């Protein structure tokens, strides 16, 4: 991406970060009721999007080439186990990232 | 620029008259303890974001501008990744829109609560985040505190934490040079934790599984550079169709 394309992308991202916040207030001005199906969608869509994003995080992992996704798998296990146990996002995130950094820098070089 | 104008507009509401200023300070005192968990989260995640940006080679000012104008953890973590990929405006627009679509649903819940709030309303809408939404929605109104000032205080403080975190992260990355290879895994950590939290807090796991399944299929078909756009479109179509029929995920 060229420098110009970076700035265009940042502006596009900004636009679709601000728009979803204002959208309901624009579409349903004071006094107007949103339809029922939207509230149902609100309980399903965020879950599906995060599910897809987790897959997105592992998109570059190759099982066939060295290190066969092993560092990712170990770091993911650290996050899952720690998060199920302590329910602390900061702790799980930090521990998983540090574990991954150590693995790719010192173990699977 | 916009955010500064919106913020000044919101703050002018309280700086105009002395009584209003006093009422805001009173609300801010009550609001501060509620923002301490947010502070921990935003400063830490902000530092991680700043370091990611620095590791990717972006300037400190861009990190600060993004934190000040976007105030979106997941969106910004994803942005760092997208900014290093080949230029693809359409996919970027749709992907970030879908990630941030949850703000739309937060907004739907806030329609009534934000009614008639005057000058502070645009700012309160601009800075809606997962964390401040929870605090503002669950807050039990008090007679001695003006609710909109409470929400304004929560939002201004949280907004500041996020900017401070991002700035710190970018500066730390700039000044202390160490091998940051693998720090990109912070994004994986963030989304995995959100996924696990959502899994624990819901009884119907079909939407989450649908997202995972559709993304894997699309990854296999379209390849890693371009699979998220079709995946998001399919997920959206399926969920819109289902929400008209069955009460999927209703018992949450």
Q: Could you tell me the pLDDT band of residue B16, with boundaries at 50, 70 and 90?
A: low
CB nearest B195 (choices: A45, A50, A94):
A50
Within chain B, where are the H helices?
A: 2-15, 18-55, 60-70, 73-83, 89-110, 121-126, 130-138, 147-175, 185-200, 206-222, 228-245
CB contact under 8 A, B103 and A21: yes
CB nearest A83 (choices: B116, B196, B228):
B196
DSSP character for B145? S
Over pLDDT 90: what percentage of chain A?
69
Sketch the domain layout of chain B as residue ranges: 2-199, 202-252
Query: Under 8 Å CB-to-CB from B173, ≥6 apart: which residues?
Result: B50, B51, B53, B54, B55, B180
The CA distance from A34 to the nearest CA of chain B, in Å, is 7
Assembly ipTM: 0.91
Kindly state the average pLDDT of the residues B53-59: 95
Query: Under 8 Å CB-to-CB from A58, ≥6 apart: which residues?
Result: A69, A72, B188
CB contact under 8 A, B125 and A21: yes
A73 touching B, CB under 8 A?
A: no
pLDDT at B247: 52
pLDDT at B15: 67
pLDDT at B252: 40
Give residue-wise pLDDT tens across range B102-127: 999 999 889 988 988 989 999 999 99
Q: Are B95 and A11 in contact (CB under 8 A)?
A: no
A3 touching B, CB under 8 A?
A: no
Contacts A104 to B, Cβ<8 Å: 181-182
Res B251 pLDDT > 70: no
What is chain A written as a DSSP string? --HHHHHHHHHHHHHHHHHHHHHHHHHS-TTPPPPHHHHHHHHHHHHHHHHHHHHHHTTT--SSSTTTTHHHHHHHHHHHHHHHHH--HHHHHHHHHHHHHHIIIII--
Give residue-wise pLDDT tens across range B181-192: 888 898 899 889
Kindly state the average pLDDT of the residues A36-53: 88
Contacts A100 to B, Cβ<8 Å: 182, 185, 188
Check whether the bond before B121 is cis (ω within 30° of 0). Answer: no
Rounded to whole angstroms, the maximal C-alpha distance in chain A is 61
């Amino acid at each position: 991406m060229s420098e110009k394309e970076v700035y265009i992308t940042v502006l596009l991202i900004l636009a679709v970060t601000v728009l979803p916040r204002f959208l309901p207030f624009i579409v349903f001005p004071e006094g107007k009721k949103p339809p029922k199906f939207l509230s149902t969608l609100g309980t399903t869509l965020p879950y599906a999007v995060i599910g897809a994003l987790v897959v997105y995080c592992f998109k570059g992992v190759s099982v066939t080439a060295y290190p066969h996704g092993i560092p990712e798998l170990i770091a993911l296990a650290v996050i899952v186990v720690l998060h199920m146990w302590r329910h602390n996002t900061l702790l799980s995130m930090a521990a998983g990232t540090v574990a991954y950094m150590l693995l790719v820098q010192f173990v699977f070089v | 620029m916009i955010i500064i104008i919106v913020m000044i507009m919101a703050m002018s509401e309280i700086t105009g008259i002395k009584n209003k200023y006093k009422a805001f300070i009173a609300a801010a005192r009550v609001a501060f303890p509620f923002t301490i968990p947010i502070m921990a989260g935003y400063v830490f995640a902000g530092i991680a974001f700043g370091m990611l940006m620095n590791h990717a080679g972006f300037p400190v000012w861009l990190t600060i501008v993004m934190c000040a104008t976007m105030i979106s953890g997941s969106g910004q973590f994803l942005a760092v990744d997208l900014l290093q990929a080949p230029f693809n405006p359409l996919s970027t627009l749709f992907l970030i829109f879908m990630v941030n679509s949850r703000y739309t649903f937060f907004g739907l819940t806030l329609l009534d609560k934000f009614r008639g709030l005057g000058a502070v309303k645009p700012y309160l809408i601009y800075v809606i985040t997962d964390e401040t939404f929870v605090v503002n929605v669950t807050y039990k109104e008090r007679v001695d505190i003006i609710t909109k000032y409470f929400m304004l205080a929560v939002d201004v403080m949280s907004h500041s934490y996020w900017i401070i975190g991002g700035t710190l992260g970018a500066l730390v990355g700039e000044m202390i040079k160490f091998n940051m290879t693998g720090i990109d895994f912070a994004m994986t950590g963030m989304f995995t934790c959100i996924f696990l939290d959502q899994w624990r807090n819901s009884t119907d796991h079909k939407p989450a599984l649908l997202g995972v399944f559709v993304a894997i299929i699309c990854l296999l078909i379209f390849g890693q550079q371009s699979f998220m756009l079709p995946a998001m479109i399919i997920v959206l179509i399926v969920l819109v169709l289902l929400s008209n029929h069955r009460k999927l995920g209703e018992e949450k």
